Amino acid sequence: MGYGPAGPSRIDGVILWRQNSLFSASFQNTSIADIHLSRIKNKIPCAVFNVSPTPAVFQRVLWFSAPVGFAMKDDDGLTAGFHSIQQLHANVAAVPDGLCWVSILSCLLLACSYVGSLYVWKSDLPRDHPAVIKRRFTSVLIVSALSPLFVWAWKEFTGIQPGPSLLALMGIRLEGLVPAVILPLVLTMVLFLGPLIQLTMDCPWGFIDGIKVVVDPCFWTLCLSDMRWLRNQVVAPLTEELVFRACMLPMLVPCAGPSTAIFTCPLFFGVAHFHHVIELLRFRQGTVSGIFLSAVFQFSYTAVFGAYTAFIFIRTGHLVGPVLCHSFCNYMGFPALGTALDHPNRVTILSFYVLGVVLFFLLLFRMTDPLFYGLPTPVCTLTSTHGSICA
């Protein structure tokens, strides 16, 4: 077996993969010191890596397309072994018994802790009162700060030993940070193209006036002094995405796979918003039937939105993207289709509504391509299931 450009002085392993696809591995009780890309004579890409002197043991294998094989160094030299997909499945660490039950119960406990923290304070005031908001800030920030302990305890209990660090699994990392800040937010703004055009048409300010307001420190001082603005634009997006995406998805992906986890995780998020029903009934803010219909609609909307941000989290491997998208959507609210239909320029606005949706689906996979954010993303290393979500 020959190699192209000179690699490291000591080669402990080689991983081969087909063109434009990836095959990677993490090792138990070993650490990858560095990775060198080279090519073998038949032009199949390969990764040559150095590990510690202890024997490298495959703990989990992840691939996004049909891998060619791998070669490991033994006492007699470099031994190559080429395997089929079925043979490579045998190298993947088996999912521990009861993992899914442990994961689901951990997510349920985390969701109950988050919602329960909102009600540890007894008050006869409505949820939008500044005093209530401040108290809830305190309790929900404490729960959010402790939420990584749930993931750590789950990891210790199940015995799963991921390659990336706990913070990386939760989307807190530097690799690919700049595109993670920009691309998901731009993609979400494309989806809201219709409402944004409608907002622009109805805004009494000109473009220059709007820029002046945005850069005015007094504007931001006013926003930061508004408890409801802080809740909707900062605290709620940050804590909810941390708890319901960054902490839950690493626990759900190993047992359910990335695709199923995307649609399972939002159920906890949607159910968590049912607590608004209690307050609406308590303060008699509407009829019982109207309140429950509103709750069902909110559950559906938040579940769909939760699936979207879960998709972004898995594809980008970053927490910042879902947080910014969450904050933006809280600001925009649900699209006012009724107002758009009654607008004097409804043809133009509705055209942008349709254009935004079409462009969104065309750009969805392109703008969240893991290649922009560091492939594979950390949470994808927790599963052996290959598919379009992680690729």
Distance CA(299)–CA(293), nearest Å, equals 10
Residue that has been written with the tokens 């991983």 in this structure? 15
- Contact present, 13 and 73 (Cβ < 8 Å): yes
Structure tokens at 297: 């609609």
- 240 is annotated as an active-site residue: yes
Contacts for 187 with CB less than 8 Å, ≥ 6 apart? 360, 363, 364, 367, 368
Distance CA(83)–CA(118), nearest Å, equals 53
Residue 244 DSSP class: I
Contacts for 263 with CB less than 8 Å, ≥ 6 apart? 307
Residue that has been written with the tokens 């986890």 in this structure? 261
Helix 249-256 × helix 130-158 angle, to 10°? 40
Closest CA to 145 of 210, 272, 235: 235
Q: Residue 61: helix, strand or coil by DSSP?
A: strand
Catalytic residue from among 83, 273, 276, 343:
273
- 318 is annotated as an active-site residue: no
Within the chain, residue ranges assigned H as helices are 85-89, 99-116, 130-158, 166-169, 177-191, 193-202, 207-214, 217-224, 227-230, 236-241, 249-256, 258-272, 275-282, 288-316, 320-332, 337-341, 346-363
Surface-to-core class of residue 292, CB atoms within 10 Å of its CB (0-12 exposed, 13-18 middle, 19+ buried): middle
Catalytic residue from among 240, 241, 326, 386:
240
Residue 52 DSSP class: -
Distance CA(3)–CA(48), nearest Å, equals 10
Distance CA(177)–CA(350), nearest Å, equals 34
Distance CA(363)–CA(180), nearest Å, equals 15
Positions marked active-site: 240, 273
